[in-house]
Each structure stands twice: as C-alpha cells, then as structure tokens.
Chains A and B, each alone.
Chain A
Amino acid sequence: MNNILNEIGIENYIFLSVLLFCIGVFGVLYRRNAIIVFMSIEIMLNAVNLLFVAFSTYHQDAEGQVFVFFSMAVAAAEVAVGLAILVSVYRNLGSIDIDNLKNLKG
C-alpha cells in the first residue's frame, strides 16, 4: 500500500491542523455564546485528532489512531459535562453569554 503522504506531504497536514486549531482558538476568543465556544473547542480537538491520524500514517503506526479513540472519549465526556454545566448556568442566569459570568472577579 502506498503511503498517502507521498502525495500530500506531512507539512500540509500540519498546516491544515494548525489552521484548524487556530480557528478553534479564534472561536473561543471571538464568541460569547458558550455553546459556540464549546464547538470551537471541539474544532480544536478535531484539529489535533486529524494530526494524530496524519502522524499515524507518517509513522505507519496504529498507536496514533488508538489515541484518537481516547481523545474522542475525552471529547465526548467533556461535552457531556460541559453541557450539563451550561444547562445549570442557563437555569440560574437565563443566559449562556459568557460575558455575563462576571460575578467572580477582583
């Protein structure tokens, strides 16, 4: 089987991942809607996952993909917990605007 990276090149995947990651970061910073922020974090995680797979192919090694499973489990767990927190915030504050979370400061 041919290594697909011979055609594309690992650098391209790195740049793609980095850009995706940066978009995720940008989203976190840019939006005040907590749900979108969560999504941005998911995008970040996915960027990393993509890179894992790329490296896995690069090394011709399955461990990278195995790690992606764990990463997915973590992402799922985080989303679950995060949304639970989000719901309870929404119940108490009636808003999920993270800029409204300013009770704690100083």
Chain B
Amino acid sequence: MSPILITFYFLAAITLATAFLTIYSKNPIHSAIYLVLCFFSIAGHYLLFNAQFLAIVHIIVYSGAIVVLFLFTIMLMNLNKEDEVHKPRITRLGAIVVFILTSIVLVTIFINSKTIMGEYDTSGEDFQSIKKLGNILLNEYMVPFEFASILLLVAMIGVVLLSKKEKTEKK
C-alpha cells in the first residue's frame, strides 16, 4: 500500500467522519466546526491531486467565508443550544433507510460500471497551475466567468432586498 493511498484513506476517513458528525452533532456550533474540518480534509484531497490553487481557494471560500457566515448566523440567532427536538422516530428511521438505500443504489451502479483497468493517462503537461487556470478562465470561460458575476450580483441584490426595510414599513 503506497503512502499516497494511505493518505487517501486517512483523508477520506476524516472527510466522511466529520461530515457525519456535522450532521449528527446536536449543537450547531459543533456542527459548524466539524464542517470546517470536513472542508479542510477536502482541501487535503485537492492537495493530493496537486491542485494547490484550488485547495487554497477552497479553504478561503468555504472555511473562510461560508462557515463563518454560518457561525455568524448561528450566533445571531443564539442557537448555541442543544434544544432541537428530534424529528419523529419514523422520520429518522426513514432518513436512515433512505440514506442506506441511496448509498447502496449509487454505489451499486458505480460498481456495476466498467472498471478502468490499467494506467491512467498522464499528459505530462501542466494543466492545473494558477497560470493555466487563469488562462482558461479568462479566455475560454470568459463568458461564464462574467456571468458568475451576474450570479453574485443577483445574490447580492437579493440579500439586500430581503433584509432592507421598507420606508413605509412600521417595525
């Protein structure tokens, strides 16, 4: 077993475990922290693929922005309590069944699929350096890149719209 494979299994175990704990923790704060750990482990996978830039962006966006946003919200709402009533047992049971079912179904179809034998291609070229990515992003993918800005603009307007008070509103 190569060290890389060991690393993979290690990271995968962490990823899955933290993901599961995110969901399983009763305290939302704990969930958020497990989520951060999960994201870090995923970043570890990225690094394993030698996609450093992506790993860093990932950490910045997810851990730095998204999880922080979650934490802000949790604190804003003062949810730092384990007061969540569990769903009815039948629902939980159903969720577990569905989880198992989904996993089995998806895993089954992929097991059924043609396994890739032999060597994977190695182009030998650089395909994931910052330079390369930048080139692609601003040439080939310029339109979606710009369009992503529209997406963010829409999200921004949306959030403003949702939180802005009307002049006429009485509160």
**Which chain A residues have a beta carbon within 8 Å of chain B's beta carbons?**
1-12, 14-16, 18-27, 29-33, 35-36, 38-40, 42-43, 46, 49-50, 53-54, 56-63, 65-66, 68-70, 72-81, 83-88, 90, 96-97, 99
Closest to B119 in A: A6
Indicate whether A61 sits within 8 Å of B127 (C-beta atoms), given known contacts A6-B119, A46-B42, A50-B42.
yes
A100–chain B nearest beta-carbon distance, Å = 10
Indicate whether A77 sits within 8 Å of B154 (C-beta atoms), given known contacts A7-B2, A46-B39, A65-B54.
yes
- Secondary structure of the A contact surface, majority rule: helix
Question: Quick one: which of A4, A23, A81, A99 contacts B23, CB cutoff 8 A?
Answer: A23
Question: Quick one: which of B66, B95, B116, B159 contacts A29, CB cutoff 8 A?
Answer: B95
A80–chain B nearest beta-carbon distance, Å = 5
Contacts between chains A and B (CB distance < 8 A), count = 228
Interface residues on chain B, number (Cβ under 8 Å): 81
Question: Quick one: which of B50, B79, B110 contacts A35, CB cutoff 8 A?
Answer: B79
Closest to B118 in A: A6
Closest to A54 in B: B49
Q: Are B154 and A43 in contact (CB under 8 A)?
A: no
